[in-house]
Amino acid sequence: MSEDIRWEVVEESALSLTDHEAIAAMLAQAFPSWSHWYVGGRSWAGMQPERRVLGRTEDGVVLAHVGIRRMFVTVGGEDVLVGDTGLVGVSPRLQGSGVGRELMERVHDVLDGLRVPYGFLGAGEDRIPFYAHMGWHEFPEAVGTFSAFTADGAGVVETEQGGWMVRPVTARLEDWPEGPILLNGQQV
């Protein structure tokens, strides 16, 4: 890895406008097809995280980011507390350098500290092997429904099969309920 990265866990209320702008700039680079979401200080696409894991340079440039929020999802009719994990991004120039692995190790520490039963995330098909290598388990038959908001703020209900992943934290993977997943709102 060519750059020194300072890692930190930051609560949402401790972020400044400058922080949000730096996060948004990196997310726009990491997700170019979604860059219209990440303008100015808008550093989120759905639900705002409660905690963020940031990897920055000494001068504050954000190189890696994850957002986490505790929330309940309903799985097969049962409410389950999860650490919803999203906005996982690494600066394009550092992708493939091991920074993503370091980032996810820190995410695991945050989830452990939150003492949630499970970490939870929705992953694109091309990202599933990475998360699986990091200890997340996919439920490929699971169907998840959530509120997706457009950049203009209009909400639409989305249903997707596959890509729903869980990481046991204080509970056992075997205790994850079976059935459809209802996020009861937005994803992080």
User: So where are the chain's domains?
Assistant: 6-182
Contact between 52 and 156 under an 8 Å Cβ cutoff? The reply is: no
Helix (H, G, I), strand (E, B) or coil at 40: coil
pLDDT digits (tens, 9 = 90+) for 84-117: 999 999 999 999 899 999 999 999 999 999 999 9
Global pTM value: 0.89
Q: Tokens 């997943």 correspond to what residue?
A: 181
For 118, the token pair is: 């499970």
pLDDT at 1: 43
| Domain covering 6-182 in this structure, CATH number | 3.40.630.30
First CA to last CA distance, the chain:
28
Rounded distance, CA 29 to CA 153, Å?
22
Looking at residue 2, its pLDDT comes to: 47
The model's pLDDT over 35-82, given as tens digits with 9 standing for 90+, comes to 888 989 888 877 789 999 999 999 889 999 999 999 999 999 999 999
**Per-residue model confidence (pLDDT) at position 18:** 94
pLDDT at 188: 82
Provide, rounded to the nearest whole percent, the portion of the chain with pLDDT above 90: 68
